[in-house]
Amino acid sequence: MSDCIFCKIANHEIPSTVVYEDELVIAFDDLNPQAPVHTLVVPKQHFENIVDGVPGAVLEAMTHAIAEVARIKGLDEGFRVIANTGAAAGQTVMHLHMHVLGGKDLGEGLV
Ligand code: 5GP
Ligand code: ZN
């Protein structure tokens, strides 16, 4: 997807603060953080969202990356993972990503 901003970040065409990276996944800090820790876990391959036929290996790599982000950022007390799916859920970048939020007491929030 040549005009996709997260494809460009995954290809290092656009700079980002990379927290973790492997063959399948990149994790980088959100430009507009909603918590002291707000990192996005993004597959390098383009999928629109989590129900876009994502292979199990990619989901497994994303889970691994979430654990690495939590370890690297010291989120021992807990954290929240959010995957906005579709415009009505507030998805603004149509490339699958999981928000990892933490570093403060998040309360019960929406869920
Ligand atoms: P969504 O609303 O789609 O679930 O989340 C998209 C997220 O991507 C937002 O939290 C937004 O701040 C972040 N974002 C959008 N463009 C960029 C960018 O160019 N760099 C980084 N690091 N984050 C971005
Ligand atoms: Zn993309």
Q: Which of 12, 93, 98, 99 should be mutated for ligand 1, with most atoms under 8 A from CB?
A: 93
User: Tell me: the pLDDT tens digits for 46-86?
Assistant: 999 999 999 999 999 999 999 999 999 999 999 999 999 99
> Looking at the domain assignment, is residue 108 inside a domain?
no
Residues spanned by the domain of 28? 5-102
Residue 64 among the catalytic residues: no
Residue 95 domain flag: yes
Residue 94, domain member (yes or no): yes
In a domain, residue 109? The reply is no
Q: Which residue has the tokens 């691994």?
A: 64
**Could you tell me the CA-to-CA distances from 99 to 2, 59, 60 in Å, in that order?**
23, 14, 16
Indicate which CATH number applies to the domain containing 57.
3.30.428.10
The β-bridge partners of 26 are 21, 42
Residue 16 lies in a domain: yes
For 50-78, what is the HEC assignment? CCCCCCHHHHHHHHHHHHHHHHHHCCCCC
Kindly give the distance from the C-alpha atom of residue 14 to the centroid of ligand 2, in angstroms, as a whole number.
12
Q: What is the pTM of this model?
A: 0.97
Domain count, the chain: 1
